[in-house]
Amino acid sequence: MKKIWQLILAGVFIVLASTPFTSCVDGEFEQPPIIIPKVDFEANRTILQLKNYYLDTLSRALTLIDKDIIISGIVVANDESGNLYKKMVIQDATGAIELALDKNSLYNEYKLGQRLFIKTKGMYIGDYNNLVQLGYIFGGNIGRLPETFISAHLFRDSIPGTPPVATPLNLASLPTASADIVKEPRMSTLVKLENVRFVEVGEMFAPQNVDNTNRTLIDQSGKSITVRTSKYCNFASDTLPGGYGTVEGILTAFGTTWQFTLRSKDDVKEFGGVAPPPPGSGTGTFADPYDIVRAMASSGSDPAWVQGYIVGTIDVGDQNVPNFSGPFITNTNLLIAASADEANLANCMPVQLPSGTIRDALNLVSKPGNKGKQVKVLGTLETYFSQPGVKNLTGYWLDGSGVVPATGFFTEEFNQTLGSFTEYSVLGDQKWFGDTYDGGCVTMTGYVAPNYFVNEDWLISPVISLAGKTGVELMFREAVNFVNNLEDTKVFVSTNYNGTDNPNDATWTQLTGFTRSTGSAWTFVNTSQISLAAFEGSDIRIAFKYVSTTAKAGTWEISRVVVSASN
């Protein structure tokens, strides 16, 4: 019986083996259907109409929209590079608006060029310091629309197309008054700046020690705008290019400060070449000062004389409002311009007034009669109140008198090296070294992450002869941060150091009583003038002595040393 069953099974196997089978996979796959999103409704408001409804009808009150308002626009900026966080911007033919959405990686769904329809009913509209946004309420202010609500308000239409072309922007055309800025139709739109340059060439877009970093773009007429970049973007560690070029991005504002947001590194285009000479006139000397046009188009840490008319101040506060008519309430700055009747902030240079003689002579609070007078000021041409300005004043000339500092007969700019100075390390492995900050400096720190190290390090000048010199003064430019106190960063003069031995074996006189860095900031400042009258007629060396411990190790950066005399 068993053998019979074996024969039957063998026969079945033979039959099965000889029977052809049709494969369940025929070698061709059916393509899944492409689902192209399509809306079945239309926009009934433009973006500009929606913003005007908020600004005029709602009087800028944060509002939950209860009307069936629908807008439509093309995505011109999203979060793909990381420079925008949980935000994107849509634009139509009339304007643009920022969307605050509590969702990561929005770019996966909302790509550049994607048309969106937005049912705004149930969303909040408000502004964050003059930037109008659509989102939701958070802490009584405009915030992000919760992720669970997004699908009820945002609707894609078709597949992404080509984003709008960036519109050329003339910085001089931007309004300066807060009430005009919030109503500016170009706010949040995709714009293009041509023939502009970065002030901070060679610096990173966004160092990792702060969440956001402001950099400055200047056009050939001297007008500037702040470029704000997040440390989380994928080009944060890239360096700012030199020369002139074109940038594209989103125009925004914070209060009365116009800002510019890059969407990616690709928005920085065609930089290079030699910057053309700035417009205007003057060489920056007392006899031939820069005019306002030349000064606004220039920048640098070297002091220069600038001539203009005193036209007002910037009242310091939440909004930093320009004041051209008085009464004046801020004595720490001036506005100077090419004409005495100028009343447009964009055509002015803010001037920082240091405490003491210069502020006492120039400020409009105690000297309102200075308004309309021509003045010369000596300082560094730097960004101040987010536009070209004059800072670190060491001289002025008004009504035929003032302060004119003597010209330095010894100057060391360092230029990323020790220059003519030498270093002597008494303790520790860390030493003074050339660095890139402030256009080139020397740096000393006993901090090597994550540890503090014991150090005593001297930076010593060559021999400087004061023979036949009178009215000798020292000034240096420094940034000091994270020190225990300024006793960790002392300045000395010696008449008997031989230049090679341990400096502790020589006699040194400490220099004190001068204005300098606070010891808690990365900002470079010029010290006040330090008298060296006690050493006149001698050969001297100047030394900068740094110390640190295992409990505290700060950083000292020096970018210039100037010794001057009155003869």
For 479-508, write each residue's pLDDT tens digit.
999 998 999 999 999 999 999 999 999 999
Residue-level pLDDT at 439: 77
Quick one: pLDDT at residue 320?
82
Overall fold of domain 292-404:
OB fold (Dihydrolipoamide Acetyltransferase, E2P) (2.40.50)
What are the contacts of 401-404 at 24+ separation with CB within 8 A? Answer: 402/361, 402/376, 403/357, 403/358, 404/286, 404/378
φ, ψ for residue 121, nearest 5 deg = -60, 125
Residues 110-139, mean pLDDT to the nearest whole number: 97
pLDDT band at 28 (very low <50, low <70, confident <90, very high): low
Q: What is the pLDDT of residue 24?
A: 43
Can you tell me the mean pLDDT for 95-99? Answer: 98
Provide the mean pLDDT of the chain: 90
d(C-alpha 467, C-alpha 500), whole Å: 23
Residue 25 has pLDDT above 60, yes or no: no
Q: How confident is the model at residue 407 (pLDDT cuts 50, 70, 90)?
A: low
What distance in Å separates the CA atoms of residue 304 and residue 95, rounded to the nearest whole number? Answer: 42
**Is residue 88 classed as helix, strand or coil in its secondary structure?**
strand
Confidence of residue 30 (pLDDT cuts 50, 70, 90): low
**Residues 6 or more apart from 254 whose CB is under 8 A from it?**
129, 130, 131
pLDDT at 5 exceeding the cut of 50: no
- Over residues 420-438, the mean pLDDT reads 95
pLDDT in tens, 230-240: 999 999 999 99
- pLDDT digits 0-9 by tens, 259-299: 999 999 999 999 987 766 777 899 888 888 999 989 988 87
pLDDT at 467: 93
Listed in sequence order, the residues at least 6 apart from 129 whose beta carbon sits closer than 8 Å to its beta carbon are 253, 254, 255
State yes or no: pLDDT of 333 exceeds 80: yes
pLDDT above 70: residue 2: no
Q: For the whole prediction, is pTM greater than 0.85?
A: no
Confidence at residue 9, expressed as pLDDT on a 0 to 100 scale: 41
430-461: pLDDT as tens digits: 999 999 898 789 999 999 999 999 999 999 99
Cα–Cα distance for residue pair 234/237, rounded to 1 Å: 8
| Confidence band for 406, pLDDT divided at 50, 70 and 90 | low
Confidence tier at 529 by pLDDT (50, 70, 90)? confident
pLDDT in tens, 374-402: 999 999 998 888 788 999 998 899 998 88
Main-chain dihedrals φ then ψ at residue 108, nearest 5 degrees:
-60, -30
Q: Fold identical between 167-272 and 292-404? A: yes
Per CATH, is 411-564 categorized as 2.60.120.200? yes
What counts of helices (H) and strands (E) characterise the chain?
Answer: 6, 39
* H-helix or E-strand spanning residue 295: helix 292-296
Yes or no: is domain 47-157 CATH 2.40.50? yes
pLDDT at 357: 86
Categorise residue 542: left if φ over 0, alpha if ψ from -120 to 50, beta otherwise: beta
Q: Is it the case that residue 180 has pLDDT exceeding 80?
A: yes
CATH classification code of 167-272:
2.40.50
pLDDT at 11: 46
Strands 145-146 and 96-102: parallel
Domain map (residue ranges) of the chain: 47-157, 167-272, 292-404, 411-564
Least confident of 43-52, 245-254, 377-386: 377-386
How many C-alpha atoms does 71 have within 13 Å on its Cβ side?
A: 28
Q: What is the pLDDT of residue 23?
A: 41
With residue 181 as reference, give the H or E element that holds it: helix 178-181
Q: Which residue has the higher pLDDT, 495 or 345?
A: 495
